[in-house]
Amino acid sequence: MSNKLRVFVSSTMADLANERDAVCRQLRDFNFDPVNAEGWLPTGVDTWTKIEREIESSHVFLLILGERYGWIPTEGPQSDSRRSATHLEYRAAKNLDVPILVFPKKLGYSSERDSRDAQLRDAFREEASAWAGGQFVREFYLASDLAISAGNALVEVLTNEFLKEKIRQRAGDAARSRRKMEQDQGTRPEGAGMVIPPRLAEIVSSRRAVLFAGAGISWSGGMPSQAVFSQHLARVLLKRQPDYSVSPAASELKAIATDVQASTSRAVLLEEIGRVLNPPQGLHATLAHERAVCLFDLIITTNWDRLFEDAASACNQRFDVVTCEISAPLSKRSIVKLHGSYADPESLLATEVEVFTMDSKRPRLWEAVREIIRSRPLIVVGSSLRDPSVIRLFAEARPTDFGYFLARSSFEANAARVRKWNFECVSGEVEAFFAALTASVNGGADWAAGAEPVNAQS
């Protein structure tokens, strides 16, 4: 089950289609899970039960108010309330104490004012805005304005201690509701329909393969995307320098981290990174992490989180964890954190200079990783291989062994780009890939969390 921040998007449908689309795009860019009621049916007894469960399973309720009050159910559950579907959703979120963000669209001079729908609309707007006390109300005019405002508000949710605490208090209930929905709906087995190339299964089974993992493997565990880190750090600077902007040519997160450290201190930079690395719904190792620590003896990652370490502990797998320069060869079972770990703040590489000069700061680790990439088959998961420091590492190593690159989409450009490093593209999602790979390596069976795999090496 995904542990992403779930945001229920509530509004009238037809008149706010563009706004809903803009908000959902922004949510996905942040690696949040947008939950909407596009499937709301005018009739149907079970519909309201489903909507209530979706709201209960969400961490945040985002309310968009437009020019219409909206459709009022005339039969079925809640029809006697004489409230619109959107109003009912809002009341349900309020009763569940889900944090509510309110975004009223500015009404034009030509907007209807005297009709019954307009009167109900205005009363609902006043109710929602008064309850929020203005603290979480942001007016907008264009869909693009709304996407920016919603993004800023959700970054604040991740970093505002009051809001984070509210989400933490009900995170357990939200997870239980989500789990119950998935059980009722019946989910397709993970990995179903995904074909693992025989050669890929063979090199993983032989224990020669090395996993190279990027941020994508942590997304289901609740990790916000790089865009959230960038936006939060930019907000930190904007409070001090209202005219601050990032050069389009810069590597955005590293550039902003550089500016934060230069304008404040390294301690402030680490503190602000830590706020985002501690999302209110928590970060949890996924089945992909657990399967990975059972399948691979050597894991190289650019991630700052501890999800691989947590998975190793849960699965009784022993690894050495490397976060900085080495004084001896890497052990056979190692988790190598190329950019450091937030658990060891001094090891963290975040600014442009820190990342791009890693070879001079950690020459023995750089050389050890370069030799691994050069001589052993790699399985790349959750990484685009577009980070300049990673490109440089692979360019210097010039891999000679055959490897695989997991891509969410089978674009020819992806295949052509990684072919120079002897990678073959495999299309699929991270969780499905590890489920199918585990079954292929283990003769069709899977390993439960905490169980030793058949051919694990200690």
Q: Is the pLDDT of residue 448 over 50?
A: no
How many degrees, rounded to 5, is the angle at CA 55 between CA 54 and CA 59?
110
- Fold of the CATH domain 198-223+284-441: Rossmann fold (3.40.50)
* pLDDT band (50, 70, 90) for residue 102: very high
Amino acid letter at 30?
F
> 276 versus 180: which is more confidently predicted?
276
Domain boundaries, the chain: 6-171, 198-223+284-441, 226-276
Q: Is the pLDDT of residue 197 over 90?
A: yes
Which pLDDT score, from 0 to 100, does residue 410 have? 62
Which pLDDT score, from 0 to 100, does residue 174 have? 85
Pseudo-torsion of CA 266, 272, 277, 282, nearest 10°? 140
Which pLDDT score, from 0 to 100, does residue 110 have? 74
Q: 6-171 is classed in which CATH architecture?
A: 3-Layer(aba) Sandwich (3.40)
pLDDT digits (tens, 9 = 90+) for 12-23: 988 899 999 999
Which pLDDT score, from 0 to 100, does residue 457 have? 40
What is the share, in percent, of the chain residues with pLDDT greater than 90?
66
Q: Is the pLDDT of residue 323 over 90?
A: yes
pTM: 0.89
pLDDT digits (tens, 9 = 90+) for 120-146: 999 999 999 887 666 688 999 999 999
In contact, 345 and 270? CB cutoff 8 Å: yes
Q: Give the whole-angstrom CA distance, residue 451 versus residue 45.
A: 44
Q: Is the pLDDT of residue 40 over 60?
A: no
